[in-house]
Chains A and B, each alone.
Chain A
Amino acid sequence: MNIVVCIKQVPDTTQVKVDPQTGTLIRAGVPSILNPYDHFALETALALKEKTGAEVTVISMGPPQAKTVLRLALALGTDRGILLSDRAFAGSDTWATSYAIARAIKKIGKADLILCGMMAIDGDTAQTGPGIAQQLHLPQITFCEHVAVSGRKLTAKKLMDGGHEIVEAQLPALCTLVLPADYKPAFPSFPEIAAAQEKDLELWTAADVGADENLLGLKGSPTRVDRVYAPPQRARGTVHQGTAAELVEKLVCILKEENFIKC
């Protein structure tokens, strides 16, 4: 079985703030990390590799520095890493990105299972995974917490509002993964990192994947970002203090005053 995992390098958004005056992200001193959802998708693929002996290929689209997350993936046990990097990709929205990645997956050839993070923490769109499935005309199962493979049958545990849904599909298929509660991403040891440095990391351009440049970058992107801003802070609530009995009495008074209850 061949598994392709799509990953992205993102700024650690827990440390990013929006400049309220300019509306731009303050990136100074903010480290770049592997998108946590993609990290879990990668670990899911590596667990399947351990069970089934699958070959895992990891692919990322981004500037040359994105090779860091591919190296991380190789250190964690991925067999092959591909970086899609070309000026023609710059400015691509989720649709153009899906197109470029789908072209790369076609070039890889046989891909039985494609795993993506549910979304990237920098854009929060959750569109690229479904976009790739659409481009490749594959069945897709989104919001998966767990993925199992038996023969050509895929079984996924999909997160729903208030519960889970067990969904089956025939391979080839694409799944996007959500983060399990208390997820702590695996990190490689020093020798694993040093060994990953010896592995080949392939660099592919738009031409290498046979992509039509009109469908890439700003030209190929139907989405335009109008502006980015931090939502205004809500007014603070009122805090009342006292004994339980006093507080209940106070609460009832407020509810009456606000006409929520009548008596």
Chain B
Amino acid sequence: MTTIDAVSRGLMLDSLKEYAKRRIPFDCIRELDRENEFPAEILKEMYDPGVLGVHLLLIPREHGGLGGGTVDIYRVCEALARIDLGIATSVFATFLGTDPLRVGGTEAQQRKWMRKIAEEKLLVAYGATEADAGSDLVNLRTRAEQVVKNGKLAGYKITGNKQWISNGGVADLYTILALAPGGPSWFLVERDATGFSANKHEDKHGIRLSNTAGLSLDDVYVPADQLIGEVEGQGLQQAQAVFGYTRLMVAAFGMGAGCEALETAVRYSQQRIQGGGPLSQKQGYTHKLIVPHAVALEASRAYIHAIALRLDGEEHGLQTEGAIGKYYATEAGNNAAEDAIQALGGYGYTRDFPVEKIKRDVKIACIYEGTNEIMEMTIYRGRWQEHLKSRGQYYIGMAAELDALHAQNANVGADSAALGLRALARILEDCRAQRLTRHQNVTFKLGELIAAAEVAANFCKTAAAKEYNEGVRMDRACCEAMSRVCARETAFDVASQGIKLVLGAGTGSAAELSQAVSLVEIEDRQRGVTEDKDLIAAKLNETFRPR
């Protein structure tokens, strides 16, 4: 639960943007990117409570922090991603690195280490991944052996290698996952521990301002009170417990980076005159390269905000929702950046303009914190259980809610979203009846369709809400048009791709399946989509004017 209100949050974001404008303008970031250089001084300054103190947001108030909640932190993640995703990753690594401590640390451990991180401005790194253990941590090879002195457990000696560790070469403190006799466990390891070393900074495709390095641990001794939670074997549960939250932060990265690329393209398109007028006035340009991404990014924002509010409330875990947010928003951001290069033409392909860098950077959001294919699997697993438990009624119930919403507000496309959810329920049921989920590609594709249908349904609810969340910059008419486009196109995708999936892997009649998913009715709802896209394009041009 956060104690920070929307006004304070807005002021924090303003301070962050102002700091970035002065200290790390684009020219500076471009140079650091070219040199593959981690801006240590900038990070220390951002952690300095006299300048920004950004890391204090993740530390509870009782331990000297500001006790930021999920909404606060995702908004900061989004703003950081707009500045530079490498810097954002470095800050996020501290967030992530402290998570095992926050979730599983004893009261004494939290008091000691959280306060130390707050006061000493420590950069933290999260050391889980190994060469053979990425999303599949069962193959963990790093070992922690007990050291017993005078018949009493005194500490552990840790040996192993870690890979792809953000802040790996620059952190002051590491949380290291290692296999103890009682099972996988998290340990706090300080940078100067004997036997501990960091490898070279990786030469990466993007996020080059973020230090990424492997770690070597050779008989690194840590006292017993640096085993997080002081009970062995809790490591995987502690890691799992925060996936809903941490993946939502990566979702915010995808959304933030994508929005920055999109806005750059919208501003550029109003100045670039071709064929007698600005590109921003040409449907062939806007309806292909701009509007679809604006819709997907706004749908992402609505979803991330809704899940963040739930996490700040009484709900815990929300791992499937975290995976949906991460999958949808990072794909949206990656696609928006890709098309922003196209939208800027030759300029977009040069390093003088920011979009090619954003594209290189944002790709990582589809990879780290669980690849998007792992997300598809996670989403499928979570919702498949719901489908079975409810005897196929899970999405039917959700569709009924959307129908009720449509009766109150016919402007947001909730009727189309309901059709999409019913189509999804039918596709899932066909997959069950024909046992099609024995094909892995079917399960992954179902994960994708589930994410799209749920995000579209949530977008309708957000667009119909009396008040919009603080991140929304478009007006009501535009948000409603975006929601309609999203609901209509998603319903069509779910129905048509679902049919393709079932017929491709199983048996049945295309005509019967089309009827069962109401394909014609869904096609009928596509009327007016072009007009809605015209309105969205015009509103984007009005909102993001050339600077």
Q: Mark B37-67, 1 if CB is under 8 A from A, else 0.
A: 0000000000011111110110000000010
**Complex Cα gap A189–B15 (Å):** 7
Does any Cβ of B come within 8 Å of A15's Cβ?
yes
Query: Cβ of A190: which chain B residues have Cβ within 8 Å of it?
Result: 12, 15, 49, 52-54, 56-57, 66
* A26 near B8: Cβ-Cβ < 8 Å: no
| Chain A residue at minimal CB-CB distance from B64 | A191
**Complex Cα gap A15–B267 (Å):** 12
* B22 near A184: Cβ-Cβ < 8 Å: yes
Binds A, one of B156-164, B373-381, B538-546: B538-546
Q: Could you say which of A17, A26, A189, A194 contacts B51, with CB atoms under 8 Å apart? A: A189
Query: Cβ of A75: which chain B residues have Cβ within 8 Å of it?
Result: 11
Does any Cβ of B come within 8 Å of A28's Cβ?
yes
Which of B11, B14, B544 has the most CB atoms of chain A within a 10 A radius of its CB?
Answer: B11
| Chain B residue at minimal CB-CB distance from A65 | B7
| Chain A residue at minimal CB-CB distance from B478 | A28
Q: Mark A9-36, 1 if CB is under 8 A from B, else 0.
A: 0000001010000000010110000000
A26 to chain B minimum Cβ distance, whole angstroms, is 6
Which of B54, B473, B545 has the most CB atoms of chain A within a 10 A radius of its CB?
Answer: B545
Q: Could you say which of B3, B8, B51, B543 contacts A193, with CB atoms under 8 Å apart? A: B8
B498-547 interface with A by 8 A CB criterion: 539, 542-545, 547
Query: Cβ of B18: which chain A residues have Cβ within 8 Å of it?
Result: 185, 187
| Chain B residue at minimal CB-CB distance from A67 | B7
Q: Mark A178-212, 1 if CB is under 8 A from B, else 0.
A: 00000011011111011011000000000000000
* A187 near B7: Cβ-Cβ < 8 Å: no
* Contact A191:B4 (CB < 8 A) given known A29-B543, A75-B11: no
Does any Cβ of B come within 8 Å of A72's Cβ?
yes
Does any Cβ of B come within 8 Å of A68's Cβ?
yes
* B66 near A194: Cβ-Cβ < 8 Å: yes
**Complex Cα gap A197–B6 (Å):** 10
**Complex Cα gap A185–B19 (Å):** 11
Does any Cβ of A come within 8 Å of B107's Cβ?
no
* A68 near B10: Cβ-Cβ < 8 Å: yes
* A68 near B7: Cβ-Cβ < 8 Å: yes
**Complex Cα gap A184–B473 (Å):** 26
* B49 near A187: Cβ-Cβ < 8 Å: no
Does any Cβ of B come within 8 Å of A71's Cβ?
yes
* Contact A189:B52 (CB < 8 A) given known A28-B539, A28-B543, A72-B11: yes
B118 to chain A minimum Cβ distance, whole angstroms, is 10
Q: Could you say which of B11, B56, B545 contacts A68, with CB atoms under 8 Å apart? A: B11
**Complex Cα gap A184–B4 (Å):** 27
Query: Cβ of B49: which chain A residues have Cβ within 8 Å of it?
Result: 189-191
Interface residues on chain B, size class: 20 to 34
A261 to chain B minimum Cβ distance, whole angstroms, is 39
Does any Cβ of A come within 8 Å of B314's Cβ?
no
Does any Cβ of A come within 8 Å of B192's Cβ?
no
B341 to chain A minimum Cβ distance, whole angstroms, is 24
| Chain B residue at minimal CB-CB distance from A14 | B547
Q: Could you say which of B3, B4, B5, B545 contacts A17, with CB atoms under 8 Å apart? A: B545
3 closest A-B pairs by beta carbon, nearest first, are A29-B543, A187-B15, A190-B53
Q: Mark A51-94, 1 if CB is under 8 A from B, else 0.
A: 00000000000000001100110010000000000000000000
Which of B8, B22, B52, B539 has the most CB atoms of chain A within a 10 A radius of its CB?
Answer: B8
A residues with a Cβ closer than 8 A to B are: 15, 17, 26, 28-29, 67-68, 71-72, 75, 184-185, 187-191, 193-194, 196-197
* B52 near A15: Cβ-Cβ < 8 Å: no
24 A-B pairs (CB sep. < 8 Å): A17-B545, A28-B474, A28-B475, A29-B473, A29-B474, A29-B542, A29-B543, A29-B544, A71-B7, A71-B11, A187-B19, A188-B11, A189-B15, A189-B49, A189-B51, A190-B12, A190-B56, A191-B49, A191-B53, A191-B56, A193-B8, A194-B3, A196-B8, A197-B5
* A189 near B50: Cβ-Cβ < 8 Å: yes
Query: Cβ of A197: which chain B residues have Cβ within 8 Å of it?
Result: 4-5, 7-8
Query: Cβ of B57: which chain A residues have Cβ within 8 Å of it?
Result: 190
**Complex Cα gap A75–B49 (Å):** 13
Query: Cβ of A187: which chain B residues have Cβ within 8 Å of it?
Result: 14-15, 18-19
Given contacts A187-B19, A194-B4, 14 further A-B contacts (CB under 8 A): A17-B545, A26-B545, A28-B475, A28-B543, A29-B542, A71-B7, A189-B15, A189-B49, A190-B56, A193-B8, A193-B15, A194-B66, A197-B4, A197-B7
* A194 near B8: Cβ-Cβ < 8 Å: yes
Which of A68, A184, A189, A197 has the most CB atoms of chain B within a 10 A radius of its CB?
Answer: A189
Query: Cβ of B543: which chain A residues have Cβ within 8 Å of it?
Result: 28-29
Query: Cβ of A185: which chain B residues have Cβ within 8 Å of it?
Result: 18
**Complex Cα gap A190–B11 (Å):** 8
Query: Cβ of B14: which chain A residues have Cβ within 8 Å of it?
Result: 72, 187
B170 to chain A minimum Cβ distance, whole angstroms, is 22
Query: Cβ of B53: which chain A residues have Cβ within 8 Å of it?
Result: 189-191
| Chain A residue at minimal CB-CB distance from B67 | A194
Query: Cβ of B66: which chain A residues have Cβ within 8 Å of it?
Result: 190-191, 194
| Chain B residue at minimal CB-CB distance from A15 | B545
A177 to chain B minimum Cβ distance, whole angstroms, is 20
Query: Cβ of A68: which chain B residues have Cβ within 8 Å of it?
Result: 7, 10-11
Query: Cβ of B542: which chain A residues have Cβ within 8 Å of it?
Result: 26, 28-29
Query: Cβ of A26: which chain B residues have Cβ within 8 Å of it?
Result: 542, 545
* A193 near B22: Cβ-Cβ < 8 Å: no
Query: Cβ of B8: which chain A residues have Cβ within 8 Å of it?
Result: 71, 193-194, 196-197
| Chain A residue at minimal CB-CB distance from B475 | A28
**Complex Cα gap A188–B51 (Å):** 7
B1-30 interface with A by 8 A CB criterion: 3-5, 7-8, 10-12, 14-15, 18-19, 22
